[in-house]
């Protein structure tokens, strides 16, 4: 019985690893772009603006991992062992989901660092709220309409027409509003945890909050 249960868990994990790896890869694309855009480059060039657009096109992939909790629910129904669910399944999902959301947090921290660097610190909280809203729409498009980031290039007409039409309904607006609140709340918490755990500045843009530093926390 134990052997069958372990085999079943391994089978579920093997099936999940493919989409988990892919979704994490998509989540880390905006993180890598944020380092290049906001830490290593100065804005103003056409290449920077192109990278900036790609950054926002892929950014919803990071918080999108939060919605993968629905797969966890399905897997829990499949594996009827409290120990396996608690010690194996849930930890794997937590690593993947938190990893994706942390990529989102650090990406926005880098964005805020750039705004501070160019003397626009007062815009940081506004940009964060706008980004949460845009990502809430992006998550809805991805989860319910099954759009991908590259659809902005491959089928822009469908994204604009169907995407806009769909979000104007009452139910989509409620879902987007809830998603916005969740993103804003989790980001507020994770940003402070991330900054609090940091001991020094790094390439991913986390400030330690050293009182002697001339760069304020973002």
Q: DSSP assignment of 60-81, as one string?
A: THHHHGGGGHHHHHHHHHH---
* C-beta separation of 76 from 85 below 8 A: yes
Per-residue pLDDT of the chain (218 residues; tens, 9 = 90+): 577 777 777 777 787 888 899 999 999 999 999 999 998 877 778 999 999 999 999 999 999 999 999 988 888 888 877 888 888 889 999 999 999 999 999 999 999 999 999 999 999 999 999 999 999 999 999 988 888 888 888 888 888 888 888 788 888 999 999 999 999 999 999 999 998 887 544 544 444 344 344 444 45
Find where tokens 């794997």 sit. Answer: 92
Return the C-alpha torsion angle 88, 90, 95, 100, nearest 10. Answer: 140
State both tokens at 206.
């986390």
Please name which of 216, 187, 184 lies closest in space to residue 104, comparing C-alpha atoms: 187
What pLDDT, on the 0 to 100 scale, is given for residue 120? 93
Q: Return d(Cα 9, Cα 88) in angstroms, integer.
A: 8
């Amino acid at each position: 019985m134990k052997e069958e249960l372990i085999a079943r868990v391994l089978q579920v994990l093997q099936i999940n690893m493919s989409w988990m790896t892919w979704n994490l890869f998509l989540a880390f694309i905006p993180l890598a772009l944020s380092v290049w855009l906001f830490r290593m480059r100065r804005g103003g060039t056409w290449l920077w603006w192109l990278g900036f657009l790609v950054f926002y096109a892929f950014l919803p992939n990071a918080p999108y991992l939060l919605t993968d909790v629905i797969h966890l629910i399905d897997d829990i129904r499949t594996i009827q062992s409290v120990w396996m669910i608690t010690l194996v399944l849930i930890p794997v999902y937590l690593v993947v989901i938190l990893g994706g959301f942390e990529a989102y947090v650090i990406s926005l921290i880098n964005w805020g660092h750039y705004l501070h660097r160019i003397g626009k610190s007062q815009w940081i909280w506004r940009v964060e709220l706008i980004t949460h809203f845009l990502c809430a729409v992006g998550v809805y498009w991805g989860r319910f309409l099954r759009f991908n980031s590259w659809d902005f290039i491959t089928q822009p007409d469908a994204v604009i027409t169907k995407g806009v039409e769909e979000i104007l309904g009452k139910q989509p607006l409620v879902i987007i509003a809830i998603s916005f609140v969740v993103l804003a709340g989790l980001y507020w918490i994770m940003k402070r945890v991330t900054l609090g755990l940091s001991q020094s500045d790094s390439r991913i843009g986390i400030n330690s909050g050293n009182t002697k530093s001339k760069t304020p926390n973002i």
